[in-house]
Amino acid sequence: MTATQKAPTEQPKTASDTGARPYASVNPYTGRTEKEFPFLETGEIDGVIERAHAAFQEWRKLSVEERAAIVGRAAELMTERRDEYAALITLEMGKRIQEAAGEIMLAASILEYYAKNGPRFLEPRTIDVLKGEAIVENEPVGVLLAIEPWNYPFYQAVRVAGPNLVLGNTILLKHAELNPQCALALEQVFRDAGAPEGVYTNVFLQIPDVERVIGDRRVQGVTLTGSERAGASVAEIAGRNLKKSVLELGGSDPFIVLDAEDLGKTVKAATMGRMQNSGQACIAAKRIIVTADVYEPFVEGLTQAFSTFTPGDPADPATTLAPLSSERAAQDLQAQIQDAIDKGATVLAGGKRPDHDGAFVEATLLADVTPEMRAYKEELFGPAAVVYKVADEDEAVALANDSDYGLGAAVFSSDVDRARAVADRLEAGMVWINQPTGSSAELPFGGVKRSGYGRELSELGMFEFANRRLTRVLPAKKAEKPSAG
- Cα angle for residues 100, 465, 441 (degrees, 5° grid): 35
How far is 82 from 444, CA to CA, in rounded Å? 25
CA-CA distance, 15 to 431, in Å (whole number)?
41
Which entry of 34, 187, 248, 464 is annotated as an active-site residue?
Answer: 248
Note the pLDDT of residue 22. 83
126-148 pLDDT, tens digit per residue, is: 999 999 999 999 999 999 999 99
Say what the pLDDT of residue 481 is: 65
Map residue 20 onto helix, strand or coil. coil
Are 310 and 411 spatial neighbours (Cβ–Cβ below 8 Å)?
no
Predicted local confidence at residue 478, as pLDDT:
72
Residue 439, C-beta contacts closer than 8 angstroms, at least 6 positions apart:
106, 155, 283, 445, 457
Between CA 78 and CA 83 the distance in angstroms is 9
**Which spans in 356-453 are helix H?**
374-377, 393-401, 416-423
DSSP states along 337-362: HHHHHHTT-EEEE--S--SSSSS---
DSSP 3-state of 70: helix
Q: Name 420's bridge partners.
A: none
Mean pLDDT split into 10-residue runs, the chain, 485 residues? 39 34 91 96 97 98 98 98 98 98 98 98 96 96 98 98 98 97 98 98 96 98 96 98 97 96 95 97 97 97 98 97 97 98 98 96 98 97 98 98 98 97 98 97 98 98 98 83 60
Burial of 483 per CB tally in 10 Å (0-12, 13-18, 19+) = exposed
Beta bridge partners of 321: 311
Is residue 248 flagged as an active site residue? Answer: yes
Give the global pTM.
Answer: 0.93
Q: Return the DSSP state at 364.
A: E
H-only helix segments in 81-172: 82-93, 97-121, 155-167
Those residues with Cβ within 8 angstroms of residue 13's Cβ, 6 or more apart along the chain or in another chain: 32, 33
Query: Domains along the chain?
Result: 13-44+52-249+451-470 (3.40.605.10), 253-433 (3.40.309.10)
> Which 8-state DSSP code applies to residue 431?
E
C-alpha to C-alpha distance for 421 and 404, rounded to whole angstroms: 22
316 three-class SS: coil
**Do 109 and 74 contact (CB within 8 A), yes or no?**
no
**Spacing of C-alpha 480 from chain mean position:** 62
Per the CB < 8 A criterion, the answer to whether 175 and 22 are in contact is: no
As a whole number of angstroms, the longest Cα–Cα distance in the chain is 108
Q: Could you tell me if residue 163 is left (phi over 0), alpha (psi between -120 and 50 degrees) or otherwise beta?
A: alpha
Length of the chain counted residue by residue: 485
Separation between Cα atoms, residue 262 and residue 270, nearest integer Å: 13
3-state SS class at 233: helix
Which residue among the candidates 282, 393, 427, 464 is catalytic per the annotation? 282
- Cross-strand bridge partners of residue 291: 390
**Residue 395 a catalytic site member:** no
Give 140-156 as a DSSP string: E--EEEEE--SSSTTHH
Q: What is the pLDDT of residue 473?
A: 95
Answer yes or no: are the C-beta atoms of 350 and 366 closer than 8 Å: no
